[in-house]
A and B are shown apart, each in its own frame.
Chain A
Amino acid sequence: SAVISQKPSRDICQRGTSLTIQCQVDSQVTMMFWYRQQPGQSLTLIATANQGSEATYESGFVIDKFPISRPNLTFSTLTVSNMSPEDSSIYLCSVDKGAPNTEAFFGQGTRLTVV
């Protein structure tokens, strides 16, 4: 298994500002994933973060809006930039301990409210 610590657990932010979410894993992992879970909706993959290379973004998500860092094999950050109320959501960090991504483990999530 994997223990994932995500910070902050929740935040209320003003529109137009940015928030950086941190994800720390207790072991080295190749790939880390960032998801969004909007109210009443399922999880949507934002991007895949590999150490040493640029993140790979899914359709509908762009680097300018959701810049990601992956400085080492146990840590990643996701920034939600220039926030609007539509960005209010739960953001989840995930790591994969199986192949291919058969045993994904999640952090507890960051509940973001933009006002």
Chain B
Amino acid sequence: QKEVEQDPGPLSVPEGAIVSLNCTYSNSAFQYFMWYRQYSRKGPELLMYTYSSGNKEDGRFTAQVDKSSKYISLFIRDSQPSDSATYLCAMTGNTGKLIFGQGTTLQVKP
């Protein structure tokens, strides 16, 4: 079993839809949770990070962490075609070693 599980998709939605991206994990030592966006032929770009459980909002993006369920989510409101990319979750504990999910490919259609 992988430490971090993420549905690779692809996920296709119409412009303006609310997008929900999710990851589950097995290691209870994880405390820091991140979401990266990766456009084709580019390196991953840090979108958001949260510490422990709770919500964090930044513009159209909301990250949620539920440590009791070992489940994290990224919500994108009013999705735009420019949001089309691969979204990677990542997490780490005190070791500092980042463990990535497989990534979910999102396509937002105009």
Contacts and interface: CB of A to CB of B under 8 A. Distances in A.
A102 B32 contact: yes
Contacts of A4: 43
Contacts of A96: 96
Contacts of A92: 43-44
Interface stretch (B12-20, B65-73, B100-108): B100-108
Given A42-B101, A42-B102, A45-B97, A101 B92 contact: yes
A43 B44 contact: yes
A60 to B, nearest CB: 14
B57 interface: no
Contacts of B92: 100-102
A33 B42 CA distance: 17
Nearest to B103: A42
Contacts of B46: 103-105
A101 B101 contact: no
5 contacts: A40-B8, A41-B102, A100-B94, A101-B32, A108-B42
Interface of A: 4, 6, 31, 33, 40-45, 92, 96, 98-109, 111
Q: Which 5 A-B pairs have the closest CB atoms?
A: A100-B96, A106-B43, A101-B96, A42-B100, A43-B100
